[in-house]
Amino acid sequence: MQLRFSGIYKSYNGKSVLENISGTIHPGDKIGLVGRNGIGKTTLARILAGQEPCDVGTIEFLPPHGKIFYLEQAPRFANSESVYEAIIRAARSNLLINDAETTVKKLLNMLGIGEEKWAQRANSLSSGEKTKLALCRVAVSDFALLILDEPTNHLDLENCAWLEDYVGSLDKPLLVISHDRFFLDNVVSKIWELTPRELRVYEGNYSDYKRQKEIEQKSSEREYQKQQMKIRRLKQMISERKSWYNSAHNAAGQNDFYRSKAKKHAGVIRAKKRELERLESRKIDKPRKTKDPLFALLNKNLPEKKSAPFLVRGEGLGKSYAQKVLFQGASFNIKRGDKVVLLGPNGAGKTTLLKIIAGLDSDYSGQVTVNPAVKIGYFAQELENLDYGATVLDDVLTAGGDVEEARLLLASLLFRGDEVFKKISDLSMGEKGRVAFAKIILGRANFLILDEPTNYMDIASREKIEEVLAAFKGSIIFVTHDRYFMRLANRVFVIADGKLNCYEGNYEYYLAKEGGSKERNKVNGMSVHDYQELRDNINRLECELAFLSGQLSEARDEKEKEDLQERFFQIAKELNHFRKLI
């Protein structure tokens, strides 16, 4: 199926959301749609899927009656239908499925929706279970184009892996909106970036897109500087010529030589003014540089007293609800400087363990010892530490710091100008998360406990917060489903089957130690030597890309630039292949 659209306009209550957006989805395309929150990604997806009309624009389908399956962020089901009914109906209508009952039962079990829930109303499921049920419906349906809006929200690693494998083997075109960069790296071969002005197309996955954006940014800065230099030279030349003209004109009188000289200056001035006008009519906008996260502020706010080597110890911890045992016999330690990621399937007890460490849950067996020098900063999924009636600035100031410090920090976390005076209640969930994070930074904590800190955040916000945390000199334990975010960790804790296992290495070490990624099964059977060789190749190619990026910024002509770009994308493709093997 091919889908073409052009000149798409859409507004709500007089506010423009999409303006003159055009693009094409070709057969076999796997496209990731990215852009900041509120830019109109979901609106565009809904228009293409036929869920809502555009104000102006055309959409063409080839063939004209191809079926589109659109999976929205918050899947909905008929009020009366059960879990099983929600899937079996779709499976029976798909003529390509021979045994609908067997297929549906196998799929539900595979995605962790047990038989005890099949008679339950579909709308009574949790958000994560609804997403899994909707994905089951995708898998048994027949369609010509698949559009997914944030499909990995609420999914654990195992289900994310299943989804990656499913869409990876799909022979139909795919358009997916996602903030999960790991998912985009493994699934898509093209990125659409939606901006206020246009829809820009980039070949490759998310990592390829990022590298191309960095090259564009450097190129834009060079072109801007060159144009500014030319404008300054022309203005200086015009000023000098005017001065010479005035001198010659005043001295000319009836002297033909001086009159000719003045006329010549006047002609040059007119020509240079026309050149300046042409240049300024094609003026390049100054590239907007985002403020760097305040690394120094984060570490400046650490308590001055040096903490002990061990900050937190847990011995023989156990926790249960009624008859359900979450974990038992759990023992661990968290050292100074540790960045620990806590993994485990949904419902395993990750949030509960964080609350026990934070002192917010005292109903457990065993013992937790927290060093007296530790000051905890806790980020809760529910964001209950925010004052919804206050402004962003006022709420952040309750954590500490002065107004200047707070505003600088908020600017680095993408709250600029008058945005700091917005009410917390008027913010999106992603914006609320950034405010909660700012309060933690200003709170002088040396030990951060973070429960899904990047939920609801767009990619730009996630990358900013990753930079801040990477520079943090204190200790962190965090829960996340974002596999890029997991790369911050130098240790891995895993809750599974009622036990806590601790790995003395980063996320990649954990995958290798387990004989390969449990969720992707990508390095099964790979020896330690082969795994290390793979890592060496990745490091080598990353260094080569960095070197080429520098050469690109200094290319002397278009031919050299084209050759370097071709080499750059060849290496990027090879690097992406190696990364997928991990």
Residues 138-166: pLDDT tens digits? Answer: 999 999 999 999 999 878 888 888 899 99
Instruction: Read off the pTM.
Output: 0.71
Q: What is the mean pLDDT of residues 362-383?
A: 89
pLDDT interval class at 240 (50, 70, 90)? confident
Round to whole Å and give the CA distance between 125 and 244. Answer: 82
Tokens read off for 550: 């520098």
Model confidence at 319: pLDDT above 90 = yes
Strand, coil or helix: what is 137? Answer: helix
Check if the beta carbon of residue 356 is closer than 8 Å to that of residue 350. Answer: no
pLDDT value for 526: 46
- Better-predicted residue by pLDDT, 493 or 79: 493
Model confidence at 539: pLDDT above 70 = no
Instruction: Report pLDDT digits (tens) over 433-484.
Output: 889 888 888 888 889 999 988 887 888 888 888 888 888 888 999 999 888 8
Which sign does the torsion angle of CA 69, 73, 78, 81 carry? Answer: positive
pLDDT value for 535: 60
Alpha helices, DSSP H, located in 30-180:
41-48, 83-92, 100-110, 127-140, 157-168
pLDDT interval class at 307 (50, 70, 90)? low
pLDDT value for 233: 86
Q: What is the mean pLDDT of residues 392-403?
A: 89
Model confidence at 504: pLDDT above 50 = yes
Q: What region does 110 belong to: left with phi over 0, alpha with psi -120 to 50, or beta? A: alpha
pLDDT value for 529: 47
- Better-predicted residue by pLDDT, 252 or 44: 44
pLDDT value for 293: 47
Q: What is the mean pLDDT of residues 408-421?
A: 85
Bridge partners of 59, per DSSP, are 5
**pLDDT averaged over the chain?**
84
